[in-house]
Structure 1
Amino acid sequence: MRLIHHPVLANYYVTYRCNAKCSFCDIWEKPSPYIQLEDVRQNLTDLRKLGVNVIDFTGGEPLLHRQIDQFLEVAQELGFITTLTTNGLLYPKWAERLKGKVDMLHFSLDSADKTEHDTGRGVACFDFVLQSIEVAKSLGERPDILFTVFKHNLDQIERVYNEICLPNNLMLLLNPAFEYNQVETGAQLSEAELDYLVTFSKQKWVYMNEAFVKLRKDGGNHVDKPVCKAASTTLVISPENELVLPCYHLGAQTFPIKGKLYDLYKSKEVKELIALEGRLPACEGCTINCYMQPSFAVELNSYWWKALPSTLKYNLRKGTWRKMLS
């Protein structure tokens, strides 16, 4: 049973450019422009009319955009919940201008071992993450640590939690790695390893959506009975100011926005593509977290119930439930 019939999230790519070269990501390989402030203002207004309440300014590395603080300010003025994830390289320089503008600020950290983390990210950013934590704390900010989980770094979860998160009163977000396009992430986590993540996530200040685990155990999305509601829950806007459907990672079709995002999203051709969400051949077996999370939130089923406890835990901790209710 569908509970919410409007999109709830916008993944707004400010640029595909990145100052890291993560082995499990290909975004940094793309040439890319930067989004324009006037387009952001119009698109955010239309997103509000469409019912969206969360804006994820993403990339690439979003802090490479020189106007990122202005985008966040406009989003907050319109009442959106804002989220941003960074590798930490530029955060110390941006911190003062970002203060109070990001509701869910995530620092990517995949190991307590400097060499292991920097190797995976393709750039020396471990020390910048630690510096970013200190700077954020000094400004009264409450960032989270986003830990992308692979087989090879499972043993690092407890160290990151005990050595970095607990001493700094930070939430640890466990993000099981997923494959897409031609990007490989190594051997997939076994059921026993997935069960370990669920058990670990029961500790205080640890978040992991248990529906992610259920989906993986179920073999991912199935085109004959799709779990994925990517296109109807999430709008993806590219740095070229295009609407990307059905999701960024599949990117089957793009539509120039031209200042008319609301009308475009309501158009017949977009509705026809939305109707194919989760049903295209490339959707079979998909487990992409950033589209499954909103999918779990809008339809009452077993995934909704699995996602509920962790969703409540995180939003109560962060205080974002207030904006959600409003």
Structure 2
Amino acid sequence: MRLVSHPILCNYYLTYRCNASCGFCDIWERPSPYVTLESARENLRDLRKLGVKVVDFTGGEPLLHRQLDMLLTEAKAQGMITTVTTNGLLYPKYAERLKGLVDMLHFSLDSPDRDEHDQSRGVKCFDKVMESIAVARSLGERPDIIFTVFESNIHHIKRLWEEICLPNDLVLILNPVFEYNGVGETLSDHALKELTRWGKQKNVYLNDAFVQLRLDGGNHVDRPVCKAASTTLVISPENKLVLPCYHLGLKEFPIEGNLRSLYLSDEVQTLVALEGRLPACEGCAINCYMQPSFAVEMNKYWWKALPSTLKYNRIKGTWKQMLR
């Protein structure tokens, strides 16, 4: 049963540029401009009219955009929940400007071991994450640690949780690695069971529907769980609407100041209707599109996602904003 028929999330790619070169991501390899403030203002107004509640300013590295604070201010003016994930390299420099503008601030950290984390990110950023945590806490911010889980680092969850998250009262978000276009990897059933166990611990967030989807072999085109195109609008740095999702990116439509009418057009809605049913959608388990998919249709994944969703929103207080 479909509970929400309109899009709820926007993945707004401010730039594909990045000051890291993570081995499990290929976004940073793409040439890219930066989003303009003028086009973002137009798009954010239309996103609100379409019913979008959450805007994820992403990249690349979103803090490379020097007007990020202005973009966040515009999104907040439209009543949206804002989220930013950063590798921490630039956060101490811009923290004062971003104070109070990011509802869900995530620092990426994949190991409590400095050398191991820096190697996975292709740049020395562990110390900057530690500095970012201290700076954010001093400003009264409540950042989270987002931990991308591989077979090779799952054993580090306990140490990172005990040594970094609990002493700083941070939520540890477990983000199971996914595979796409030859990038990333899959997790064993043993690792997935270990993640489920960790998801029950204090200040740990794991969407258990991610685990269930992987155990089920991902999305299946004959009975798709993916609702990427109808739940999530993807806007590129070139100010184009990307469908059906960023990773598949079959078609890009120039927005030209008309996001709402473009999204509701017959041509776009024809593509939206194919979400989860295209050949490349078979076996997909991409977290950033599955999470909103789990939120809009009452099925076994909705029920699997519900406890962790309630847990996180209770800790962070974001449920109050969702009711506005």
**Same fold? TM cut 0.5:** yes
Deviation string 1:189-216 (CA, Å, 9 cap, x unpaired) is 2212111111111011100000000000
Q: Gapped runs of 5+ residues in structure 2?
A: none
Of the three residues 289, 312, 317, the one matched with 1:291 is 289
% identity of equivalent residues: 71
Cα distance per residue 1:206-232 (max 9 Å; x no partner): 000000000000000000000000000
Query: Which residue of 1 is the match for residue 279 of structure 2?
Result: 281
Which residue does the alignment assign to 1:94? 94
Aligned AA for 2:170?
A: L
How far the C-alpha of 1:182 sits from its partner, in A, is 2.5
Distance in 2, matches of 1:222 and 1:102, equals 35
CA RMSD of aligned residues (A): 0.5
Contact 2:177 2:184 (8 Å CA) reproduced:
no
Alignment partner, residue 76 of structure 2? 76
Distance 2:38 2:19 in 1: 25
Q: Structure 2 matches for 1:239-250, cutoff 5 A?
A: 239-250=237-248
- Partner residue in 1 for 2:269: 271
**Whole-angstrom CA distance in 2 between matches of 1:118 and 1:152:** 15
1:101-112 aligned at under 5 Å gives the runs 101-112=101-112
**Paired amino acid for 1:286:** C
1:17-28 paired onto structure 2 within 5 Å:
17-28=17-28
Q: Deviations over 1:44-99 (max 9, x none)?
A: 00000000000000000000001000000010111100000000000000100000
Q: Equivalent residue for 2:149?
A: 149
Aligned partner (choices 192, 212, 218) of residue 216 of structure 2 = 218
Distance between the aligned counterparts of 2:15 and 2:159, measured in 1? 33
CA displacement 1:104-123 (0-9 Å, x = unmatched): 00000000000110000000
Give CA-to-partner distance per residue, 1:124-163, whole Å, 9 cap, x none. Answer: 0000000000000000000000000000001111111000
Report the counterpart of residue 61 of structure 1 in structure 2: 61
- Aligned partners of 2:68 and 2:209: how far apart in 1? 32
> TM-score when scaled to structure 2?
0.99
Q: Aligned residues, how many?
A: 324
Paired letter, 1:204 = K
Q: Quote the Cα distance in structure 1 between the aligned partners of 2:94 and 2:196.
A: 35
Q: 1:45 maps to what in 2?
A: 45
CA distance in 2, matches of 1:44, 1:181: 30
Q: Structure 1, unaligned stretches of length 5 or more?
A: none
Paired residue secondary structure (1:38)? helix
For the pair 1:190 / 2:194, whether they are aligned, the reply is no
- Tell me the amino acid that sits aligned with residue 320 of structure 1: T
Matching of residues 114-133 of structure 1 within 5 Å: 114-133=114-133
Please state how far the C-alpha of 1:184 moved relative to its aligned partner: 3.4
Scaled by the length of structure 1, what TM-score is found?
Answer: 0.99
Partner of 1:232: 230
SS in 2 for 1:174: strand
**SS state at 1:152 partner:** coil
Match of 2:5 in 1: 5
Q: Is the 8 A contact 2:57 2:84 kept in 1?
A: yes
Partner of 1:177: 177
